[in-house]
Structure 1
Amino acid sequence: MKTTTRLLLIACLSMPLLAACNKQEEKTAAVAEAPLAAPTTNDSAAWDTYLTKVVTQKIEGATNVYLYTLPDPAGADFQGEYDRQLEKAQGDVARGGVEGTLLAFGSQNSAKSADLAIASFAQAQPGTMKGVRVMFIGAQADADRVKAAVEPSGAKFEFVEAK
């Protein structure tokens, strides 16, 4: 009888905790799906944070994630950073795709990000990126250019409008 009473008491005391956990999970899910607003400045740190949050919201099923970002094009070392990101992205694409990989491209300058993505896939062999998702975060006007460059590789193209 004492054991039964104790188990009932523990169960009764645990119910509010379980209810609170469920409410917290619901709040977390709602926050994770909340629409994000792109920064209105060219602050690279703000853009990196925004792009990371976008990728995090869309990460479903990805086991490897690569995010290629660019600094403000008016910055002192923009070309050097662009060249380093391009070299890394081209190397990643040249190795071929591993199922579950997500390659994401984005920055405060959609056209430059599109150029980076397109150049990254310029030498990709047809069908070598099957099972890979390529996400472009930018303007609709640039998305079609990136999609045309990515699709021959066999990767699944995804577009997220930066707004």
Structure 2
Amino acid sequence: MKTTTRLMLTACLALPLLAACKKEDAAKPEAVVQAPLVAPTTNDENAWGTYLQDVVKRNLDGVTGQPYLYFLPAEETPDFQGYYDRLLEQASTDLQRGILEGNLVAYGSPSSSRMADLVIASFAKVQPGAMKGVKMLFLGNSADNERVKAAVAPAGVDYKFIETR
């Protein structure tokens, strides 16, 4: 009988401690929000790819489909023109085929002016209003923002510029 009484007393004393632990757990946030990445200051393709993915993840609100990501390496990269030509062909084909409402299209590169040229060229044959409801991100220098914005506006995209300093 003494053992049973001691166990009951111990349980009664331990119960408030368990309740306090649960309150502390409830007060802790479920997920830690990471700070946005900063644009790479080098031409490292892996760093740029990670940065582009981070920016896209932070801009997925309202996006219902798989995003389209276009990355162009630095102009110093061997066979840069080959990369540029292939990416232009791919982006142009994707845009002419049609991007459905609710999707996101993102362009980023350490060579902002060349990426701007690529965006402008790939949107040249897109029908006016054909991309209404599609989000578009351009990651580049502010000097390229206005010309990209003017080139994509007729397509009807929801354009957002993100400066990479």
Query: Same fold by TM-score, threshold 0.5 exceeded?
Result: yes
- Which runs of 5 or more residues in structure 2 are unaligned? 1-14
Q: Does 1:154 align with 2:161?
A: no
Q: What is the CA–CA distance in structure 2 between the aligned matches of 1:47 and 1:53, rounded to whole Å? A: 10
TM-score (normalised: structure 2): 0.82
The structure with the largest alpha-carbon Rg is 2
Q: Which residue of 2 aligns with 1:23?
A: 29
Q: Distance in 2 between matches of 1:97 and 1:135?
A: 14
- Which amino acid in 2 is paired with 1:97? I
Identity level (%) = 50
Tell me which of 78, 82, 86 is aligned to 1:76: 78
SS at 1:54 equivalent: helix
For residue 41 of structure 1, what is the aligned residue in structure 2?
Answer: 42
User: Partner of 2:11 in structure 1?
Assistant: none
State the one-letter code of the partner of 1:106.
G
Q: Which residue of 2 aligns with 1:138?
A: 140
Q: Is the 8 A contact 1:135 1:158 kept in 2?
A: yes
Contact 2:36 2:54 in 1 (8 A): no
Match for residue 96 of structure 1 among 98, 104, 109: 98
Contact preservation (8 Å) 1:38, 1:47: yes
Q: Secondary structure at the match of 2:67?
A: strand
Q: Distance in 2 between matches of 1:84 and 1:149?
A: 20
> Counterparts of 2:46 and 2:112 in 1: how far apart (Å)?
16
Report how far residue 13 of structure 1 moved.
8.4
2:57 equivalent in structure 1: 56
TM-superposed CA distance for 1:53, in Å, is 0.9
Number of residue pairs the alignment of both structures matches: 149
Letter in 2 for 1:150: V
Aligned-partner Cα distance in 2 for 1:153–1:122:
10
In structure 1, what is the Cα distance between the partners aligned to 2:161 and 2:132?
17
Runs of 4+ in 1 over 4 A off after TM superposition: none
Q: TM-score, normalised by structure 1?
A: 0.82
Q: What SS does structure 2 have at the residue aligned with 1:67?
A: strand
In structure 1, stretches of 5+ residues that fail to align are: 1-8
